[in-house]
A = this chain, B = another copy of it.
């Protein structure tokens, strides 16, 4: 418990001026431009078991319309639009008429699932001149760790393993989790994940933290452990005295269990890792469009067969509802209503600044690089250090 013995509550300034704060993200132009996400990465777009044979799913991923379909066990991804008259290939009336192909429901245009090439236009007869001359775009797609990984980008895809935390690929690893669609900008989701400030306050009354005495505040540095950025917490205040106001929280919890501290890291293109003692939690955020993003939560644990079975039982009866459900629903509420910039960052947001800088410096090439930002109404002039200090946090 900390009691810093601060002087009494500061007098409000006679004419307190609301600081204007940061008006845009032009300090990190590549980050600012990434409204539709970071391309040239593999993302876990669906759970393998959710994609049943010949029951395609239409997804919106990084602003593109994509049909994902399983045929003869193998997963394929195609641009979800028949070039004939613009009907979706994933329309519920669409079917497979020949092995290894997929047919548009309107006129029976039939595409090879691997190449995307038109191999028959059924209602034009076998001698149709369109065959071999038309194709729809296909996307690289892989299955690993019970998830379907999709690659959208302009660069040749790296091995999918490059973009999967290696623990998920190891033998004997149990992978369980949940995929949801959330409203709000994907960057708010990722920033909220790496933000240690809110955790102590927003989540102080949820069931998951019922037996944890969280600190009122802490300090945290960011350490680069390529490819992860990791938070190192350095100071904790459990019931500090706020000048002129009093102690907070007013009551400490009576019964608590001393949980070992979790270590939080983040990496490109927006993967959070929370390390617990015997298991790790991962999260992904990636945009569907400018208003919604896909949110994937995964828990991985490397155990023997019996412990895996017990862990699975614990996950489906407790963790999935209390942690992946109730706890993270509080974050979803905030991500949904966040409205920034303008924003006015404070000391605990140093970690977010480090993450933004990291994305801006290290993200794979993006088509928007060097172009004007995706947010044309915002000023894109780089600020001087003095201006940044004047704006708030970066002192």
Where the two chains meet, the residues of A that have a C-beta atom closer than 8 Å to any C-beta of B are 2, 4, 6, 9-13, 16-19, 21, 81, 83-88, 91, 93, 97-98, 101, 105-110, 112, 115-117, 119-137, 188, 197-198, 200-202, 216-217, 219, 237, 240-246, 248, 330, 333-334, 337-340, 342-348, 392, 395
For A16, give its contact among B2, B123, B135, B198 (CB under 8 Å): B135
Q: How far is the CB of A127 from chain B (nearest CB, A)?
A: 6
Given contacts A202-B105, A217-B125, contact A131 B10 (CB under 8 A): yes
- Flag if A116 contacts B248 (CB, 8 Å): no
Given contacts A18-B83, A19-B134, A81-B339, contact A240 B201 (CB under 8 A): no
Closest to A100 in B: B245
- Flag if B85 contacts A243 (CB, 8 Å): no
Q: How distant is the Cα of A134 from the Cα of B127 in the complex, in angstroms?
A: 66
B residues within 8 A CB of A81? 339
Q: How distant is the Cα of A278 from the Cα of B238 in the complex, in angstroms?
A: 64
Q: List 26 A-B contacts (CB under 8 A).
A: A6-B127, A9-B119, A12-B115, A13-B133, A16-B116, A16-B117, A16-B132, A16-B135, A18-B83, A81-B339, A84-B343, A85-B338, A85-B340, A86-B337, A86-B338, A98-B246, A98-B248, A101-B245, A106-B198, A108-B200, A123-B197, A124-B347, A125-B217, A125-B237, A126-B237, A130-B344
For A342, give its contact among B83, B122, B339 (CB under 8 Å): B83
Q: How far is the CB of A124 from chain B (nearest CB, A)?
A: 5
- Flag if A83 contacts B19 (CB, 8 Å): yes
Q: How distant is the Cα of A331 from the Cα of B84 in the complex, in angstroms?
A: 16
Q: How far is the CB of A293 from chain B (nearest CB, A)?
A: 17
Q: How distant is the Cα of A339 from the Cα of B136 in the complex, in angstroms?
A: 16
Q: How far is the CB of A159 from chain B (nearest CB, A)?
A: 23
B residues within 8 A CB of A242? 98, 110, 119-120, 122, 126
- Flag if B123 contacts A200 (CB, 8 Å): yes
Q: How far is the CB of A18 from chain B (nearest CB, A)?
A: 5
Given contacts A88-B337, A217-B122, contact A127 B4 (CB under 8 A): yes
**A-B residue pairs, 4 tightest by C-beta:** A86-B339, A16-B135, A12-B117, A125-B217
Given contacts A10-B131, A202-B93, contact A21 B125 (CB under 8 A): no
Closest to A79 in B: B18
Q: How far is the CB of A120 from chain B (nearest CB, A)?
A: 5
- Flag if A348 contacts B135 (CB, 8 Å): no
B residues within 8 A CB of A198? 106-107, 123
B residues within 8 A CB of A120? 242, 245, 248
Q: How distant is the Cα of A128 from the Cα of B349 in the complex, in angstroms?
A: 13
B residues within 8 A CB of A202? 93, 105-107
Which residue among A119, A123, A137 has the maximum number of chain B CB atoms within 10 Å of its CB? A123
B residues within 8 A CB of A135? 12-13, 16-18
Q: How distant is the Cα of A87 from the Cα of B343 in the complex, in angstroms?
A: 10
Q: How distant is the Cα of A88 from the Cα of B246 in the complex, in angstroms?
A: 25
Q: How distant is the Cα of A392 from the Cα of B237 in the complex, in angstroms?
A: 71
Given contacts A124-B217, A132-B10, contact A119 B245 (CB under 8 A): yes
